[in-house]
Amino acid sequence: MHYLVITDIADPRRLRRAAKICERWGERVQKSVYLMELDAENLQRLQSAMIKILHGSEDSARYYALCGLDIGRSSGEGLGRGLKPMADHWIV
């Protein structure tokens, strides 16, 4: 599953730590926005790592699931490679 991860972190040190974590899992598309392709287990690992550094009263991280159609309809200019739509899976 593709995810758009958006962070809003007040402290520069925590911001750098969060950026390093997110860049391990996906591509930075803006200063605090990342595109990632994660399965459920890796999403849980990412969320656990982020929870350890975020301060609930000052910081936030949001995880938006994107389907293949969303990725296929997206466009952009400039830096970045983007994500390709995942192959459709059918159960018959």
Annotated binding-site residues read: 8
Indicate the annotated binding residues for Mg(2+).
8
List the structure tokens of 19.
């950026």
